[in-house]
Structure 1
Amino acid sequence: MRIITIPPPRFPFLVLVLGLFLLTACSPQNTLKGVFEKKTPYEKYQAGLKEAKLDQTALGQQWLAAGERALQQAVPVSLPFKETGYFPAEKPMAASYRFTVKQGQKVAVKVETQGQQVPQVFIDLFEADPTQASVPKQVAYADTTAQSLEYEVEEELPHLVRLQPELLRSGQYTVTIETMPILAFPVQGKDSRAVQSYWGAERDAGARRHEGIDIFAARNTPVVAAVEGVVTRVNETPIGGKVVWLSDLKRQQSLYYAHLDSQLVQPGQRVSVGDTLGLMGNTGNARTTAPHLHFGIYRFGQGAVDPFPYVHQSRTKPASLQADEKRFGDWVRVAKANTTLREAPASSATPILTLSKHVPLQVLAGSANWYRVMLPNGQQGYLAASLVENLEKPLQTVRLRREAPLLDASSALAAAQKSLAADSMVQVLAKQEDFWLVSETNGATGWIPAEAAR
């Protein structure tokens, strides 16, 4: 069951106001003003709320606060990651996830939505420098016609993605976050499983370190351009043997191909991804080893960098949803005593707090066999889906000791749906320290002060 926390009479009015806002936001005057302002879709929508004075309503303020809070409370996840969740119309929410992507990779975010009135979901990507306490820096966003984005990471820093639907729209969403290499694999017909020697391995009895990766394949296998660029050098050296240097002008870096059996390009030649540069061999100081390509990357102003993330395509797929998605948006209760609420969907994730049996929780989303839940006070976390139970079976039936308000939230400041008379009978669905979730005889559900029933 979904507990509605916004009084129904206000809802149609806000829908009308929002409709008027959408009409005025598309007026020629507003369109002309926007020509000279470079704003993200989220910022445009945010400005529209303020222009329509919806930011002065309780619901509008909740929407703005949810977006800001998401930037400070992003869930730490390991990629690839996939989560399915529910955005309720009556309670503005945003979801955010924090992860680290290596230099040489690009992050790909995809969001799928469904529902009777599918909401537009704003997708924004931020860079969060842990050495600075400032607000995360926005680096990418999805446009209004797309539900996905890709972004090449410039530095190996934490990044976070925020998802937030437009106001007053509910719907289910599935977000998938994955990484991909920014370069094509440099050996035709092979992938990173052909790499047998990695960055940093000792060379010459420890006198130097391996500044690249070695990719093994049969002699004369085509060695190809991993990026569109210009061939800058084609020569032969004692260590590299027959080598080719390819300049990646877009990223200010050079790609180094060594130990070739033959070179099939000339300096100054422009090449496209997949064009053959030479054939696999073992020239130079590799003449005593099997044919392989030494592949290196040298970034302008930085020097040699590990090329493996630039060409490695992970074969790991995000775990499919195993938790029951019918519970999304519903209230449940903790099924076992001393249940641990965790920071992320993993048994190794940092514990947040320990929950007592029968504590009420609202299910927001699911990832693999974990639920992301929210406590009545708004705190969120993850717990195993097997550790919650539905509310259909009441815990007990009690008689109220005194008159008590039936509240629409677990707070003394919450609005009262009605007043319950002393000696009224209610069914207890879930318990927390100060408030109980109950159902009265006519089916109305809400919260009462726990002391009224004890």
Structure 2
Amino acid sequence: MPKFLLFIILLSVMVGCDGFKLPKNIFETSARAKYERAYDGPDSLMTMWKDQYEVAAASKLIIADGFSAIAEFHADDVHALSYELELKRGDLLVVEAKRPDSLHHRIFVDVYPADLPVNSSSSTLLEAGIYTHFIQKKGLYRVVIQPEIAFSGTFNLKIYTQPSMLFPVAGKGNSAVQSYWGAVRDGGSRNHEGVDIFAARGTPVVAAVEGMVTRTGNEGLGGKQVWLRDGILGNSLYYAHLDSVMTETGTRVEPGDTVGTVGSTGNAEGGSPHLHFGIYSAGGAVDPWPFLRKRVAAKNLNVIIPNVKRIKAGSNIRRGPGTSFDIVNAIEEKTPAKIMATTGEWFHIRTDSGAEGFVQKNRLE
């Protein structure tokens, strides 16, 4: 019998007979799946580790961009941390989980839309304590962080966004933008499909991404213009009202390469010099502001998690770290709680009954 036919028969038997099913994750290549297959410790711990991932992912706690906390784990902990936050297309999400010491441990992270079912198939490992994820669709996203089994200690956890593109006018930043996406144009007959960045005439205009110049010209509303195709995502970047074009069709560019200078050509003639910057995808124009907006990275916290074990009677557990977040549970009597993380003034806790959320520091003892 040919070997390949024998293999097919054996495979059919394994799949079809009770007790001889193929492992569910045999073809999965996510970091979690690989870790699960290679783990040689007690099966009970691995089962708990996987269960705790699903418990955390179902918690639906909310944070804001710029979240910073100290997370704490003990050797017998296998819990995970899960938070949801609003993100915009073009944001570069950054997740950091770094220890105060130099010890290396595996920490897994998942990022996916919060309206999807709990799913660990996209898990990856933080490299040097950091992970980045480009957001392609606006919405609420879930971030799940879980160290490997037997991890012990604390780490600085930061979840924040950064611009995914270089600012296209050299030496300028957020304050130079004076007209945004959607602003009314021509008496309401059209809306602004980009942002206007004001600067002195002749200021260098630079490539915001790696890519190729697909077209240059001097025509229409945009006057002197450059079109640049993003080499990674395939978006087209539009630079308009230039005073001079300093590149040509077919040129490959790196971020920061000069492609022209700020001007007031086209329908901007006679007005203040500025760059009109737009982004176009296969579906049409895209708001470029999240791609460009400069923002401060979350800061490391320098706090010590106190040895508190109970929530005071009359306390509220909230969905996020602040009084503006919904109350998810009201504590009527002193209740034991595990501290999972702290922002300094707010503590992420879980009670023995499984209630999870944030409690103010002064409500713990």
With normalisation by structure 1, the TM-score equals 0.70
**Could you tell me which amino acid in structure 1 is paired with residue 285 of structure 2?**
A
**By how many angstroms is 1:112 displaced?**
1.1
Q: Secondary structure at the match of 1:63?
A: helix
2:152 equivalent among 147, 170, 189: 170
The whole-number CA distance in structure 1 between the counterparts of 2:88 and 2:79 is 30
1:109 aligns with 2:95: yes
Distance 1:138 1:309 in 2: 28
Gaps of 5+ in 2: 1-25
Aligned partner (choices 305, 310, 319) of residue 325 of structure 1: 305
Query: 2:323 corresponds to which residue?
Result: 347
Equivalent residue number for residue 47 of structure 2 = 61
- Equivalent residue for 2:290? 309
Q: CA deviation at 1:230?
A: 1.3
Structure showing greater radius of gyration is 1
Q: Which of 352, 355, 362 matches 2:338?
A: 362
Output the CA distance in 1 between the equivalents of 2:68 and 2:50: 25
Aligned-pair identity (%): 35
* Secondary structure at the counterpart of residue 188 of structure 2: coil
Q: Deviations over 1:44-98 (max 9, x none)?
A: 222234xx4722x3x4432221122122224211111111121122232111122
Q: Give CA-to-partner distance per residue, 1:268-305, whole Å, 9 cap, x none.
A: 12221111111111111112321000000111x21101
Root mean square deviation, CA, Å: 2.3
Q: Does the 8 A contact of 1:42 with 1:122 survive in 2?
A: no
Alignment partner of 1:247 is 2:233: no
Distance in 1 (alpha carbons) for counterparts of 2:302 and 2:325 = 19
Q: 2:33 aligns with which of 38, 43, 46?
A: 43
Match of 2:243 among 261, 277, 287: 261
Partner of 1:156: 138
Query: Which residue in the other structure is 2:348 paired with?
Result: 372
- Within 1, Cα distance between the matches of 2:119 and 2:191? 36
Which residue number corresponds to residue 278 of structure 1? 260
Describe how 1:397-416 pairs up with structure 2 within 5 A.
Answer: none
Q: What is the letter of the counterpart of residue 305 of structure 2?
A: E
Q: 1:173 to 1:53 in 2, by over 3 A?
A: closer
Structure 1 residues 122 and 324, CA gap change in structure 2 (3 angstroms): closer
Task: Give the structure 1 partner of residue 64 of structure 2.
Answer: 78
* Contact residue 126 and residue 138 of structure 1 kept, 8 A: no
CA shift, 1:340, in A, is 1.0
How has the CA–CA distance of structure 1 residues 121 and 75 changed in structure 2, closer, same or farther, with 3 Å as cutoff?
Answer: farther
Partner Cα separation in structure 1 for residue 57 and residue 348 of structure 2 = 17
The one-letter code matched in structure 2 to 1:142 is L
Distance of 1:286 and 1:142 partners within structure 2: 49
Task: Quickly say closer, same or farther: Cα 1:210–1:280, change in 2 above 3 A.
Answer: same
- 3-state SS of paired residue (2:232): coil
Aligned residues, how many?
340
Amino acid at match of 1:308: W
Tell me the SS of whatever aligns to 2:267. helix
Quote the offset at 1:104 in angstroms.
1.0
What are the Cα deviations for residues 335-371 of structure 1, in whole angstroms up to 9, with x where unaligned?
A: xx42211011111111011113533323221014101
Shift of 1:118: 5.4
| Partner residue in 2 for 1:93 | 79
Equivalent-residue separation in structure 2 for 1:253 and 1:140 (angstroms): 27
Find the aligned partners of 1:208 and 1:96 in 2 and give their Cα distance.
42
Q: How far off its partner does 1:140 sit?
A: 5.5
Q: 1:120, CA displacement in angstroms?
A: 2.2
Secondary structure of 2:37's aligned partner = helix
Q: What letter is aligned with 1:126?
A: V
Do the aligned partners of 1:195 and 1:215 also contact (CA within 8 Å) in 2? yes
d(CA) in 2 for partners of 1:139, 1:198:
35
CA contact (8 A) 1:261 1:279 kept: yes
Give the Cα–Cα distance (whole angstroms) in 2 for the partners of residues 157 and 69 of structure 1: 22
Answer yes or no: is the 8 Å Cα contact 2:211–2:228 preserved in 1. Answer: yes
Tell me the SS of whatever aligns to 2:306: helix
Greater Cα shift, 367-376 or 290-299: 367-376
Residue 135 of structure 1 aligns with which residue?
Answer: 118
1:184 aligns with 2:166: yes
**Greater length-normalized contact order (CA 8 Å, ≥ 6 residues apart):** 2
Do the aligned partners of 2:36 and 2:46 also contact (CA within 8 Å) in 1? no
Cα distance in structure 1, aligned partners of 2:232 and 2:173: 23
Can you give the 5+ residue segments of structure 1 that lack an aligned partner in the other structure?
A: 1-35, 390-454
In the aligned structure 1, how far is the partner of 2:183 from the partner of 2:120?
36
2:116 is aligned with 1:126? no
